[in-house]
Amino acid sequence: MTTIVLRLGATLLMLGVAPAVLGLVTRTRALLTGRRGAPVLQGYADLAKLLRKGAVFSEVTTPAFQVSALIYLVTTVVAAGLVPFDGRAALTGFPGDLLLFAGLLAAGRYALVVAALDTGSSFEGMGASREVMLGSLVEPALFLCLMVPMLASGQLSLAGMLGSELARVWTLEAPALVMSGVCLFVLLIAESGRVPIDDPATHLELTMIHEVMVLDHGGLDLGLIQYAGAVKFTMLATLLLGVVEPRGAMAPGVALAAGIAGLALVAMAVGVVEAVMGRLRLNRVPQLLVATAMLATVAVILVLH
């Protein structure tokens, strides 16, 4: 019973800190580009404001648009139950739950893409089209990356493959795992729509990917989408941490603290990348993602050897 409560606590903590993690990314970027930037906790205030607002709906939209943000939020939150935030155990899990995790994220994407097409806007159609293009490259690469800890640890569940078994063999398989971590970092940037693949701070619709897809969502729905995006970022960053910083052998409290510290580091690293790089041209993005998948393939071959 206590273990369940503890695991539930860890999952809730992950859901709670998510906006702050994104806040840290933006703050790092601002500081490095010579601005002061918004406080790290600004995300919570924005969220509170958006959740209190009314909304304007497009005349063209159907009920599919009304439920899209909810589906995105719920699938993301349910997926969070499979992620080991403390690096030891998730709320639930079973051998092969990786497909459920990816399937839930894909279901959320499906809802947002369909909602974008529901508006009949060519901007949003364009964003949705780019989103599915990125998705078709990210998803296989994500599986290849997570194959590495799976094969190294011999565990088929998400929490298991990042748990104590991995900590035991980590030094043996370090090269492959580090390569997988590097790839996961690129995928994290791609999935959360950050520079150099997408830029959440851009102001021109034609250059956006994720943001333009949700152009017609406003108020409550926009708040939910932004929050779910933050949770998605935190989950993927947690998986990345699990691969490069195995915490399965640490004491529970230490593992949790190390996890939060690691999360902050990942967020700052993303912020640094945002500060020092410009956006890639859209036709270069597939090259980056395919290269990532190739690197992940090499990592899988290393660990299979």
How many residues in the shown chain lie near other proteins by CB under 8 A?
A: 81
Within residues 194-233, the interface with other proteins by CB under 8 A covers 205, 215-216, 219-220
Amino acid letter at 133? M
Query: Which among 144, 171, 142, 159 has a CA at the least distance from the CA of 96?
Result: 159
284-295 exposure pattern, b = at least 16 Cβ within 10 A, e = fewer: ebeebbeebbeb
Per-position x/- string for 255-284, each x denoting binding to other proteins as judged by CB under 8 A, each - no binding: ----------------------------x-
d(CA 268, CA 158): 25
Pair of tokens at residue 73: 């939020």
Q: Which structure tokens are listed for 67?
A: 């439920």
What residue has token string 């779910």? 228
Nearer to other proteins, 96 or 175 (CB): 96
Binding to other proteins, residues 137-166 (CB under 8 A)? 137-144, 147, 150-151, 154, 156
Query: What are phi and psi for residue 43, nearest 5 degrees?
Result: -55, -40
Least distance in Å: CB of 45 to other proteins? Answer: 18
Q: Which of residues 44-63 bind other proteins (CB under 8 A)?
A: 51, 53-62
Residue 92 near residue 81, CB atoms below 8 Å: yes
Residue 95 within binding range of other proteins, rule CB under 8 A: yes
Pick from 30, 32, 77, 257 the residue near other proteins by CB under 8 A. Answer: 77
Question: Under the criterion CB under 8 A, does residue 74 sit at the interface with other proteins?
Answer: yes
Report the residue number, 121 or 238, with the smaller CB distance to other proteins: 121
Query: Is 113 a binder of other proteins (CB under 8 A)?
Result: yes
